Amino acid sequence: MAFGQYVNLDFDQIKTSIRDYLRANTNFTDYDFEGSNLSIIIDALAYNTYTTAYNTNMAANECFLDSATLRENVVALARNIGYVPRSRRSARAKISFTVDGLEETSTLTLNSGVVCNGSGTNTNYIFSLPESITVPVVNGVAIFNNIEIFEGNFITQEFTVDTSLFNQRFILDNSFIDTSTINVKVKSSSSSNSIVTFKQIDNIIGITSTSSSYLLQEIEDERYELIFGDNIIGKKLSNGNVITASYVISDGRDGNGASEFSFVGNITNQDGGAINPANISLVTTEEKSRDGDDIESISSIKYYAPRIYSSQYRAVTASDFESVLSYIYPNVESVTAYGGEEMSPPRFGKVFISVKPRNGDFLSDQTKRELIQKLKSFAVAGIVPEFIDLKYLYIEIETSAYYNPNLNDNPENLKTSISNALTQYSRSIDVNKFGGRFKYSKVVSLIDSVDSAITSNITLVKIRRNLIAEIGKFAQYEVCLGNHIHSQESAYNVISTGFRIQGISGIVYMSDEVIDKETGRMFFFTYEEGGTPVVVKKNAGTVKYLIGEVLIDTVNITSTVIENNVVEIQAIPHSNDVIGLNDLYVNFDISNSTVNVVQDLIASGENTSGSRFPHIHSYYTPTFTRSSNTPVTDLTSVPTSSLTSQSSTTTRSSGTTSGSVYVAPTATTTSSTSPPTSSGGGSTSGGGGGGY
């Protein structure tokens, strides 16, 4: 009798299948399979089958990029489609120093190798120079300015080509190599003085039979192998050639943050003579160490390998730029790119890129220039990449959790547990990225599941952008929230923190007055807590509720209440599911969120009739300012007819962009792409409450 098909490879299921097979055999009709010695044989057969099935399944998984788990296999599968995983990256710093007292010296050379000791947070690191640098001596002084040094030990390794060896391999012995620091030089023989520098390549475009180039591939134990040409693709090495490979072994991300350096390097003059160390000045730190990173993870290889392959090492579409940028700049935490045709008005022929680096919030101008230069070798003619600064879209919540005191009588511990759970969600893949999405239902469910004592919760959502003011300058401002703004109230749907403007005494705030469902008018006003707002400028700008855009007309902001020239602008989203549009980076701001706990008198049995049940408002109650605790209960306190405009004379500066600031010579502004006007759910509904 043949076995039936296995639909389950569980151990017990396999045993059951074997027993059923034997029972169907007439030779074993009267056997008791549970009590006989045959049960032991069945167990052995089932165990063998289970082990074989497991090994077969694991082996089959390792044959495919999506399911492989061992790094060696993932790297080998990625190699088949031409992808070389990123190595560790050394943290890089820039230093300057001078050497004086140089008589009869024309040049000085800072030799490759260890250069400095760098100190970070309670840790010291070695910094090296991959290639020697020579500078001229002028008036007895040599200036080494903005020298880029790399964290890690400098290693040199030598090979001799032996064509009598079958399949000779050139393997770099050390792990943790920063492959961007590898320098390969080849001499025709050990006695030759002629040296040829070979260039590392990642594809064969433009490579001829005489190109002095080599390919690099990762092998086992995170080591690397040099692969030279065959006189078809790249120049082939000859017998007796001597290969010298130098590189830096790095600590990766740990080396970031070093800011103080002491010189321990080797400097020689044009004759190779040593320099008196007393003539070397103290080292000045131009840039502290940054951009160090660990070797590319397995999950990252699985994600980027097929995308780089599909782009074929060229950048045409926005997704191509995202993939290529992550490939050439490993310090990327999140990246977004979109074409200028998506903007309003369109800017054809450009692609806009925004990057959130792993260590910090913004890319330096120098890094932007370097990346644009690298992208030129991938971009097609006619497409100009342009980097724009990161723009945070902050999400804040106000949550009130009902709890049963019979199950948990410590409200402070309960609040702490809720805060900890929300902090964990703030680090999830839903947020903290471009194109992120704050998922309201997940947050409400998360709060309910924190403790068995929690019976329900009412949670309100707010969104915020930080406007960076150009202090002392007349400027226009554009703040894109990228989400449909709730505009149910006649005013105060958009509010701000305080600032001061030229010609007005006291602290000024901004808010909106609804004109229709799509647009509103921004106005400036002064306000004392508990008092009545006094409008100082009626027509201060416009707000477009459907696309979530606030435009502030020309104003001279002289100072802000919040430090670092920040004016916080808050709105209520029409949908509680908030998205990051284009260059908006979604950040769930726990520090500005509020967590309250309320006793559920019905669940505790204290008031089963519900007559004393504490009701929490499920809808947003507007306030006059971000810092105000006074609700706007009577909007007729600022009727439209009473709004008065204070005139002022303004001059405009030349156009420039700074963060979320737009300084322009005219009233024309450029906005990001409008999001869809439809949205699901009510913007101000909380758990258990309806939306509107």
Helix/strand/coil (H/E/C) assignment for every residue in 470-525:
CCCCEEEEEEECCCCECCCCCECCEEECCEEECCCCCCEEEEEEECCCCEEEEEEE
Task: Please give the pLDDT value at position 213.
Answer: 93
pLDDT higher at 581 or 596: 596
Residues 127 and 17 occupy one common structural domain: no
- Digit-coded pLDDT (tens) for 362-415: 788 888 888 888 888 788 777 888 888 888 899 999 999 999 999 988 999 999
Residue 540 and residue 670 in contact, taking contact as beta carbons nearer than 8 Å: no
Residue 101 in any domain: the answer is yes
Cis peptide before 405 (omega within 30 of 0): no
Per-residue pLDDT of 118-150, as tens digits, reads 987 778 899 999 999 999 999 999 999 999 999
Q: Is the pLDDT of residue 187 over 60?
A: yes
If you count DSSP H runs as helices and E runs as strands, how many of each does the chain have, helices first?
9, 36
pLDDT of residue 484: 93
Where residue 7 falls among pLDDT bands split at 50, 70, 90?
Answer: low
For residue 260, the SS3 value is strand
Q: Which two tokens stand for residue 244?
A: 């010298």
Residue 593: per-residue pLDDT = 92
How far is residue 536's CA from residue 462's CA, in Å, rounded to a whole number?
26
Residue 281's pLDDT is what?
92
In a domain, 668, yes or no: no
| End-to-end alpha carbon distance in the chain | 68
pLDDT tier at 611 (50, 70, 90 boundaries)?
A: confident
Residue 216 domain-assigned? yes
Neighbours of 486 (CB within 10 A): 26
CA distance 93 to 119: 12
Q: Residue 643: is its pLDDT beyond 60? A: no
Same-domain pairing of 162 and 145: no
CB-CB contact of 620 with 463 (8 Å): no
* Geometric angle at alpha carbon 202, from 201 and 207, rounded to 5°: 55
* Share above pLDDT 90 across residues of the chain, in percent, rounded to a whole number: 44
Check whether 651 has a pLDDT greater than 60.
no
Task: Tell whether 143 and 168 lie within a shared domain.
Answer: no
Give residue-wise pLDDT tens across range 321-365: 888 887 788 778 888 888 888 877 788 888 888 888 876 777 888
Q: Burial level of 329, CB count in 10 A (0-12/13-18/19+)?
A: buried
Q: Which two tokens stand for residue 503?
A: 């010609």
Residue 475 resides in a domain: yes
Contact 571, 493 (CB under 8 A): yes
Residue at 680 is within a domain: no
Indicate the residue type of 488.
Answer: Q
Residue 477 shares a structural domain with residue 384: no
- How confident is the model over 621-626, as a mean pLDDT? 88
- Residue 286 host element (H or E): strand 284-290
Task: Judge whether residue 570 has pLDDT over 50.
Answer: yes
- Render 50-89 in DSSP notation, one character per residue: HHHHHHHHHHHHTTSTTT--SHHHHHHHHHTTT------B
The answer to whether residues 657 and 522 belong to one domain is: yes
**pLDDT at residue 602 is higher than 70:** yes
Determine the Cα–Cα distance for residues 37 and 43; give it in Å rounded to an integer.
10
Structure tokens at 647: 């005139």
Q: What is the pLDDT of residue 4?
A: 52
* Surface-to-core class of residue 253, CB atoms within 10 Å of its CB (0-12 exposed, 13-18 middle, 19+ buried): middle
Is 436 in contact with 580 (CB distance < 8 Å)?
yes
Which residues in 641-670 are b (16+ Cβ under 10 Å) and which e? Answer: eebeeeeeeeeeeeeeeebbbbbbeeeebe
Within a domain: 398: no
* Residue 330, domain CATH: 3.30.300.200
Tokens of 401: 């959790």
Same domain assignment for residues 244 and 261: no
262 plus 238 within the same structural domain: no
Same domain membership, residue 141 and residue 160: no
Identify the pLDDT of residue 646: 42
Strands (E), 626-682: 656-658, 661-663
Residue 677 has pLDDT above 80, yes or no: no
Strand 242-249 relative to strand 177-187: parallel, antiparallel, unpaired? Answer: antiparallel
Residues above pLDDT 70, as percent of the chain:
89
**Mean per-residue pLDDT of the chain:** 84
pLDDT (mean) for 34-49:
79
Chain centre to alpha carbon of residue 127: 26
One domain for residues 549 and 640: yes
Q: Give the span between the Cα atoms of 254 and 624, in whole angstroms.
A: 46
Q: Give the Cα separation of 53 and 47 in Å (integer).
A: 10
Residue that is last in its domain, among 369, 388, 407: 388
- pLDDT recorded at residue 5: 56
Same domain, 111 and 211: no
d(CA 513, CA 523): 7
What confidence score (pLDDT) does residue 648 get?
Answer: 38
Angle at 503 between CA 498 and CA 505, to 5 degrees: 50
**Alpha carbon of 259 to those of 147, 168, 288, 588: distances in Å?**
14, 44, 5, 31
Give residues with Cβ within 8 angstroms of 379, minimum separation 6. Answer: 314, 315, 321, 351, 385
Q: What are phi and psi of 431, to 5 degrees?
A: -120, -170
Please check whether residues 158 and 282 belong to one and the same domain: no
Burial of 118 (0-12, 13-18, 19+ CB in 10 A): buried
- In the numeric block, the tokens 């160390």 are attached to 277
Q: CA nearest 22: which of 39, 35, 5, 8?
A: 39
The residue with tokens 């001059």 is 651
Neighbouring C-beta atoms of residue 302, cutoff 10 Å = 16
Domain boundary among 249, 282, 301: 249
Q: 40 and 106: one domain?
A: no
267-272 contacts: CB < 8 A, separation 24 or more?
Answer: 267/99, 267/108, 267/109, 267/110, 267/111, 268/108, 268/109, 268/111, 269/102, 269/105, 269/106, 269/107, 269/108, 269/109, 270/105, 270/106, 270/107, 270/108, 270/109
Residue 560 lies in domain: 462-590+622-663
Q: How confident is the model at residue 32 (pLDDT cuts 50, 70, 90)?
A: low
pLDDT in tens, 59-69: 899 999 989 99
Number of domains in the chain: 5
Q: Give the type of residue at 159.
A: F
626 falls within a domain:
yes
CA 186/CA 181 separation, integer angstroms: 17
One-letter identity of residue 253: R
**pLDDT value at residue 691:** 33
Separation between Cα atoms, residue 547 and residue 544, nearest integer Å: 6
Range of lowest pLDDT (29-33, 243-247, 459-463):
29-33
Position 689 pLDDT exceeds 60? no
Closest CA to 526 of 549, 559, 487, 499: 499
Instruction: Confirm whether 430 is domain-assigned.
Output: no
Mean pLDDT of 485-498: 90
